[in-house]
Structure 1
Amino acid sequence: MKKIGLLIAALFVVSGVFIDSNKLLYPPLPIDSLTPKEAIQKLNASPFDLVALSNDKKATWYLAAISARGIQKVDEDIQQMMANEGWAFLEKEGSGLFFEKNGERSIVTTEMWTKQYVLVQIQK
């Protein structure tokens, strides 16, 4: 009976290590071109705080890691990135950051993907 219990415990441990190492616990991404594991690897390999994941006709998606400063750091990084492209920050409402350039408005939304990562969507 002890052998069966040990075998079951060993199977749980092996399954847990497999799931964690393959990042199967992450929720799906709103884009089809990358798996969650590939997105995280792309962010970890990059020297930047925001990493582009997808660029299509409707929006550009980015991934950012939550630092000790939380979402405020991500918001600052977004504002800096948009300022580099000539957009002026107007305001933040909820998870949306509003920018303006030459009479046009752009909305950047953030979404907590996991406890450690934030998805950023810049609408076109």
Structure 2
Amino acid sequence: MLLSLLVFCLLAVAARFVYLQAGPALPFSGSSASEVKTLLDGYNGKLIKLATVDGVDWYGAPSGQDAGAEAMKREVAAAGWRFVQQEGAGYFFERGAEKIVITSQMWTGRYVLFRIPSNTL
């Protein structure tokens, strides 16, 4: 009984270590979690482009104190888009008659990922 409990605890610790090293699955293909973490750890106040998949650019930033969301809004505004409103994880922008929605999602609890239509930035 004690041996079984010890083996279970060791397996649980090992599984947790592997999960923390690899991280949860990414919402896009073509990059590994460790590659994305390395890129995002180099954050310098500007969004970091992570991938382009199926007409969508994926960007990321640290999640602390809305810094990532503010960086995203600042960079999209610099590309000529006017921020209209936020509804949940969706950010609505307009440029003339054009409208786009940028969505965000937390990843690993430390980063926020943005799904931005290609050629927006």
Tell me if both proteins adopt one fold, taking TM over 0.5 as the criterion: yes
Structure 1: where are the runs of 5+ without partners? Answer: none
TM-score under structure 2 length normalisation: 0.77
Q: Which residue of 2 aligns with 1:32?
A: 29
Give percent identity, aligned residues only.
31
Report the secondary structure of 1:80's partner residue.
helix
Q: Which fold has the larger relative contact order, with Cα–Cα distance below 8 Å and residues 6 or more apart in sequence?
A: 2
Candidates 64, 83, 102, aligned match of 1:108: 102
Maintained 8 Å contact 1:61/1:122: yes
CA separation of 1:115/1:19 partners in 2, compared to 1, >3 Å: closer, same or farther? same
1:65 aligns with 2:62: yes
TM-score under structure 1 length normalisation: 0.75
Distance between the aligned counterparts of 2:85 and 2:15, measured in 1? 43
Larger Rg: 1
Maintained 8 Å contact 1:49/1:65: no
CA separation of 1:46/1:73 partners in 2, compared to 1, >3 Å: closer, same or farther? closer
Q: Give the CA RMSD over aligned residues.
A: 2.6
CA separation of 1:19/1:95 partners in 2, compared to 1, >3 Å: closer, same or farther? same
Q: Which residue of 1 aligns with 2:42?
A: 45
